[in-house]
């Protein structure tokens, strides 16, 4: 499912994606770069990730 989302936003002309998640290591294994931990609206820490749609073209 994530590969389909990446394909669609790439077709729409976006150059990069960001996401926040409580998951640890999952997105690292998919080529996303960990940026930093950020708090959600309740103060729980989430991981902020970046994905470069042009450097990561194997999707």
pLDDT one-digit tens code per residue, 14-44: 999 999 999 999 999 999 999 999 999 999 9
* Nearest residue to 47 via CA among 38, 56, 55: 38
| Residue spans of beta strands (DSSP E) within the chain | 16-21, 33-39, 45-52
Whether residue 59 has pLDDT greater than 60: no
34 within domain boundaries: yes
Residue 45 lies in a domain: yes
Residue 42 lies in a domain: yes
Q: Is the pTM of this model over 0.95?
A: no
Residue numbers of the domain that contains 12 = 2-52
Domains: count for the chain = 1
In a domain, 58, yes or no: no
> Please, which pLDDT band fits residue 1 given cuts at 50, 70 and 90?
confident
Q: In this structure, is residue 59 part of a structural domain? A: no
Which pLDDT does position 57 carry in this prediction?
65
On whether residue 40 sits in a domain, the answer given is yes
Least Cα distance to 50 among 38, 28, 36, 32 occurs for 32
Q: Quick one: pLDDT at residue 26?
A: 93
């Amino acid at each position: 499912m994530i590969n389909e989302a990446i394909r669609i936003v790439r077709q729409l002309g976006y150059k990069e994606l960001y996401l926040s998640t409580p998951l640890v290591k999952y997105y690292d294994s998919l080529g996303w770069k960990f940026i930093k931990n950020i708090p959600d609206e309740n103060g729980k820490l989430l991981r902020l990730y970046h994905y470069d749609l042009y450097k990561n073209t194997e999707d």
